[in-house]
Structure 1
Amino acid sequence: MNRLIDIFSFSEDFPLIFTQANFWIFFAVVYFIYAIVYSKKSLRSAYLFAISLLFYYKTSGFFIGILIFSTINDFFLGKAIYKSKSVLLQKTLVTISVIINLGTLCYFKYAYFFTESYNYLFQTNYEVFNYLAHWANTWSSADYFTVDKIILPVGISFYTFQTISYSVDIYRKQIKPLNSIIDFGFFVSFFPQLVAGPIVRASDFVPQIRKDINITKQEFGGATYMILKGLIKKMLFADYIAANFMDRVFDVPEMFSGFTNVMAMFGYSLQIYGDFSGYTDIAIGLAMLMGYKLPVNFNSPYKAIHCGDFWKRWHISLSSWLKDYLYIPIGGNRNGSIFSYTFILIFGFLGAFAYADFGIAIITTAAIGLLLIITLFSSRLAWHFNRNVNIMITMLVGGLWHGASWKFVIWGGLNGVGIVTYKYWRKISPYENSKAWYALLWRIALTFVFITFTRIYFRGNSMDHIDRFYQQVATNMDWQNALSVLWEYRVVFIVMLIGYITHWLPYKTKDWIEDLFIKSNMAIKAAVVMVVAVICYQTYAADFQPFIYFQF
């Protein structure tokens, strides 16, 4: 009984994480009650909304207030947008929704980034002060919140994008507003995907809220399979290799050879895939057990044959969201816009100033400005520029979404360069249309290596840390001891090899394995569950390994 009380009460040190036994005890209790109430639609929504709020409270404490604020704000704005007969008023209301949501996100996620950038740009010494926490403490007459720093609420990037999609989809007349704030709250806070995605579109999820729930034997088997697959990805292919190899290397890259650093980068590509894909697999499986369908978020991304293909396979819910709510509205691949040109000028100046000096920033901005002027007189150049500028903007924003740091902007920009470069390379590539196996293998390998090495900006703690990594790779590969490294970490590399082999298995083989599990009898399913549980918890790291995307 005491453990149940601990599980259902807030503890900053012990949030509910999919890889911990406490979560599965929590879910077993939740699912038992759900089995009783699921047929009553209003009660079902109210119950899952309440459980989702409890889950978020367990994860983030009083930051649940931000989630509730976002829910109430967009529920009533959505209704107002739908009821308004004036196009101008509709645009005003949807703009207010976007500003409030992005303003909240920027306050919590980018306050330090903007302050540090401003200080660097104007040589000032401003420090971040949490005015919202100060106001809350004053209002409550108690010091519940820390005012000398701003803490990022878990999952705010995900549910903020969801509520924006709701308002915009109503404005676009793709959906009608929900009549019940309980139903809307359930959509915003549905606990399996609340803190790390996938990002759920209102147009996809809202129609499911009031549907009849009937979970078939096949769906139950498929959900169980997804959960088991997610646990293996997270606990075996992500946490094990991180705790036993990669974290050691990335902490002090200069203490290891360039070869070891390179192998750590390949390990990190598997870790971040296993971590994030594993989370979404579990989230999708949990939702299926309750009769709801979440969007597929990964489609074997390391089978991608070019950078653009990779981003159609990786974090699909974010990529498609950015495409529909940013890339297309600012002009897509057809036109530039005032936003496009202003954005690229500002980012060009700030980026050059951050990593060079004021003079270089002025020259960079002048060069971009001159290019923009030339496009006014050259339709051919304008066509090329407009086709690519919005791709770069989308990838830069995507990088910034992942982290409030210039290194994430660089990471996003490199991926944008990869996409744009391929668009021109494919016109002269000698193997673009080749169906030979070696041509396909080369394209996959080239894309995988490029994606892997851009991730040092994702994984590195600072630019100095990244520079130390590249210095080791450039000056100290130490090939003569490569076999010793492989032998020393042989178990880790075997696990990595198994992880990549399973990733690169043909789709037919994967579908066959899944179908075999679904069609097996309950005794076999139970045996597989026990085996997976033993394997996962035998490799469970003593140190707490949160999901990487919790920080976003």
Structure 2
Amino acid sequence: MIPAAEGIGQKLQALLTYDSTSPLIFSSGLFLFLFAGFLLVYSAFRRAPTARIVYVILFSLYFYYKSSGIYFLLLLFAAASDYWIARGIYLARFAWLRRTLVALSVAVNLGMLGYFKYTNFLVDISNQLFGQGFLQFQNIFLPVGISFFVFQSMSYTIDIYRRQLTPLDNWTDYLFYLSFFPQLVAGPIVRARDFIPQIRQNPVVITRDMFGMGVFLILTGLFKKAIISDYISLNFVDRIFDEPLLYSGFECLAGIYGYALQIYCDFSGYSDMAIGIALLLGFRFPKNFDAPYKSATITEFWRRWHISLSTWLRDYLYISLGGNRKGRLRTYGNLLLTMLLGGLWHGAAMRFILWGALHGVALALHKLWLRVVPGAKATGREMHVWSRALGIFFTFNLVCLGWLMFRAESMQTVTLMLHQIFYNFNAPLIPQVVAGYAGVFALIAAGYLLHLMPGRVDAAAQRLVVHAPMVLQIVMAAAMIWLVMQIKSSEIQPFIYFQF
């Protein structure tokens, strides 16, 4: 009996202790088990909003602790700081005081983000410029999700400053908004004005369509993340990017196209699961991805990719810089600066800055193209079929060039892979490579085929799951979990955007 008791104690300790090598993520068996138990208790608070809010906050803080350890205190700090600053902004009688307080909120949030995200980068640059040892700093841990909850918190105070939102009277409601676990660590970035009205709904309403759509999104998210993204990453993409000189140009090109699918399936898979889990709890999140590789222009791509971030950058950065109200040159400059800062948001490295610059220049050139070329269109929906096909081909390859810089560990890797593609393509090896990685290429083909299918096919699949009997939905979920367990690797693969 003693060894059994010790085993239970060790499991309980592991359940309550943060382990940096095993973060709690949506695609893990542990989360699915915990969430099932969470739902059972959650249903008991359907008509008790205060108890429900406290219960969800506690689970959210536990979820974040299991993802980032003691750094969950940062989340509490951000929630307390912006809650009181926002009330001060709303109550301030003088414009200068309101401006000072919103500047304080931005400074606190960006200061926190800057310290944890960019200190290592700045120290490395300083040591390269002035010699190793010029600055000595311990490697700073980047808390999971800090880029997301900082942007959410900033949007709250800025909206109140702009008189677009009234501050909350209850701090627990704000903590609920900021810590809500489905979108906490990798988005979507949910605006306060969209989410706050849903917090104290009484009773919580979860319609049959909401439940069915939640199940559908969770299943598709699991399929994208744990089956497509993780498999092609571990068995092909990572190998190519780690040692590009060991592979032909065709394999390097396939690795880039594979990574384009991997990052889409990884990130949109997380968003699907986050939106689906929120629906099962009675909350609606905005759509975060809309088949971005169907885009026929770079402008359309950014209307379809990471929609919550692109609209955040538009509303709180691009428009604040002047948007398109200060003349053409200023408009192009604002686009470039917005995307440069968007690249820097993704990571503290030169490759992310160059990735942002590529997209900024492309967006500016497309805006210029729309102005000077008669009949030029902003999106593929407005184009003739052949123009749209050419636009999709060009846009996709431009985006993939960006993904090469985004994924490579250094610019040297970028150079090596481009060299292999242009000078060592080795086309005769293609049949052998495809045969050797048959499973990988089959999943890549299936992933792109599913992605490019007409929207009506996706809508039909949604209706099939949404209107299926609950027993069949449970069977589908069990089958998907079984499939994930058969294919997944022995190690948990964190979501790519956890590191941003």
Q: In which range does the TM-score fall when normalised by the shorter chain? A: over 0.9
Cα shift at 1:479: 1.1
Distance of 1:150 and 1:479 partners within structure 2 = 45
> Among 158, 161, 175, which residue is 2:165 paired with?
175
**1:316 — aligned with what?**
307
1:59 equivalent to 2:50? Answer: no
Q: Compare 461-470 and 70-79 and name the one that shifted more.
A: 461-470
- Counterpart CA distance in 2 for 1:549 and 1:126 is 32
Q: Which amino acid aligns with 2:28?
A: Q
Render the CA deviation track for 1:472-527: whole Å, top value 9, x for unaligned. 11221111111211111122111111111111111111111101111111232222
Give 1:319 deviation, angstroms.
Answer: 0.5
Name which of 382, 399, 413 aligns with 2:343.
399
CA distance in 2: counterparts of 1:331 and 1:58, whole angstroms: 41
Q: Tell me if 1:204 matches 2:148.
A: no
Deviations 1:101-149 (A, max 9, x none): 00010000000222233344555743343xxxxxxxxxxxxxxxxxx22
Greater mean deviation of Cα atoms: 59-68 or 390-399? 59-68
Task: Give the structure 1 partner of residue 275 of structure 2.
Answer: 284
Q: Which amino acid aligns with 1:413?
A: A
Partner of 2:319: 328
Query: Is the contact between residue 223 and residue 289 of structure 1 (CA under 8 Å) also seen in structure 2?
Result: yes
Secondary structure of the residue that 2:304 maps to in structure 1?
coil
Between the aligned partners of 1:492 and 1:67, the Cα distance in structure 2 is 39
Match of 1:511 among 459, 475, 479: 459
Partner of 1:364: none
Distance of 1:419 and 1:282 partners within structure 2: 30
Once residues 262 and 175 of structure 1 are traced to their aligned partners in structure 2, the CA distance between those partners, rounded to angstroms, is 48
Q: Confirm or deny: 8 A CA contact 1:75 1:181 kept in the other structure.
A: yes
| Farther-moved stretch of structure 1 (223-232 vs 4-13) | 4-13
CA contact (8 A) 2:120 2:139 kept: no
| Whole-Å separation in 2 of the counterparts to 1:128 and 1:499 | 46
- Closer, same or farther: CA 435–185 of 1 in aligned 2, 3 Å: closer
1:428 matches 2:373? yes
Distance 2:420 2:249 in 1: 5
User: Does the 8 Å CA contact 2:126/2:135 hold for their aligned counterparts?
Assistant: no
Match of 1:551 in 2: 499
Q: Deviations over 1:167-186 (max 9, x none)?
A: 11111111111111111111
Structure 1 window deviating more from structure 2 (427-436 vs 8-17): it is 427-436
Change in CA separation of 1:429 and 1:123 when aligned onto 2, cut-off 3 Å: farther
The yes-or-no answer on 1:301 pairing with 2:292 is: yes
- The match for 1:359 is none
Instruction: Give runs of aligned pairs for residues 245-394 of structure 1, distance below 5 A.
Output: 245-335=236-326, 383-394=327-338
- Contact 1:155/1:550 (<8 A) preserved: yes
1:121 & 1:429 partners in 2: Cα distance?
49
Does the Cα contact within 8 Å between 1:388 and 1:420 map onto a contact in 2?
A: yes
Q: Which residue in the other structure is 1:108 paired with?
A: 116
Match of residue 138 from structure 1:
none
Residue segments in structure 1 that go unaligned for 5+ positions in a row: 130-147, 336-382
Cα distance change on mapping 1:431 and 1:316 into 2, 3 Å: closer
| Farther-moved stretch of structure 1 (56-65 vs 112-121) | 112-121
After superposition, give the CA deviation of every residue in 1:436-494 in whole Å (9 maximum; x if it has no partner).
32221111111111101211111000122222212211221111111211111122111
Shift of 1:425: 3.1
Q: Quote the offset at 1:430 in angstroms.
A: 7.9
Q: 1:96 aligned to 74, 83, 104, which one?
A: 104
Aligned residues between the structures? 487
Matched, 1:487 2:435: yes
Range 49-58 or range 99-108, more displaced: 49-58
One-letter amino acid of the structure 2 residue matched with residue 507 of structure 1: G
Question: Over residues 219-274 of structure 1, what are the superposed CA-to-partner deviations in whole Å (9 max), with x where a residue is unaligned?
Answer: 11110001001000101120011111111111100100011000010000000000
Structure 1: distance between partners of 2:152 and 2:402: 28
Determine whether 1:451 maps to 2:399.
Answer: yes
The counterpart of 1:226, out of the listed 205, 217, 229, is 217
SS at match of 1:192: helix
The answer to whether the 8 Å contact 2:229/2:263 transfers is yes
Q: Percent identity of the aligned residues? A: 41
Indicate conservation of the 8 Å contact 1:8/1:26, yes or no.
no
1:242–1:271 Cα contact (<8 Å) kept:
yes
Per the alignment, residue 12 of structure 1 pairs with: 20
* C-alpha contact 1:15 1:58 (8 A) present in aligned 2: yes
DSSP-derived class of the 2:320 partner: coil
Question: Residue in 2 aligned with 1:126?
Answer: 134
TM-score (norm 2): 0.94
Tell me the residue number matched to 1:535.
483
Return closer, same or farther for 1:386/1:220 CA change in 2, 3 Å cut-off.
same
Matched-pair contact (CA < 8 Å) for 1:7–1:22: no
Query: Which residue number corresponds to residue 191 of structure 1?
Result: 181
- State the distance in 2 between where 1:330 and 1:125 align: 38
1:112–1:128 contact (8 Å) kept in structure 2: no
CA–CA distance in 2 between the matches of 1:121 and 1:244? 38
Aligned to 1:417: 361
Instruction: Tell me the distance in 2 between the aligned counterparts of 1:387 and 1:85.
Output: 34
Cα pair 1:230 1:278 within 8 Å, conserved: yes
SS class of match (1:312)? helix
* Contact 2:22/2:492 (<8 A) preserved: no
Assess if the C-alpha contact under 8 Å between 1:222 and 1:518 holds in 2.
yes
SS of equivalent to 2:25:
coil
Tell whether the 8 Å contact from 2:53 to 2:173 is kept in structure 1 after alignment: yes
Please list every run of 5 or more consecutive structure 2 residues that lacks an aligned counterpart in the other structure. Answer: 1-7
AA aligned to 1:164 is M
Q: CA deviation at 1:544?
A: 2.6
Tell me, yes or no, if the aligned pair for 1:239 and 1:540 is still in contact at 8 Å: yes
Change in 2 beyond 3 A, CA 1:231/1:4: farther
**Distance in 2 of aligned mates of 1:90 and 1:249:** 52
Cα deviation, residue 13, structure 1: 2.6
Task: Please give the alpha-carbon distance, in whole angstroms, between the structure 1 residues aligned to 2:153 and 2:57.
Answer: 15
What letter corresponds to residue 67 of structure 2 in structure 1? T
- Please say if residues 23 and 494 of structure 2, whose CA atoms lie closer than 8 Å, have aligned partners that are also in contact: no
Give distance in 2, aligned partners of 1:277 and 1:183.
28
RMSD of aligned Cα (Å): 1.7
The alpha-carbon deviation at position 196 of structure 1 amounts to: 0.6
Q: Distance in 2 between matches of 1:498 and 1:430?
A: 35
Distance in 2 (CA, whole Å) between partners of 1:512 and 1:241 is 27
The Cα of 1:431 is off from its aligned counterpart by 7.4
Q: Which amino acid aligns with 1:457?
A: M
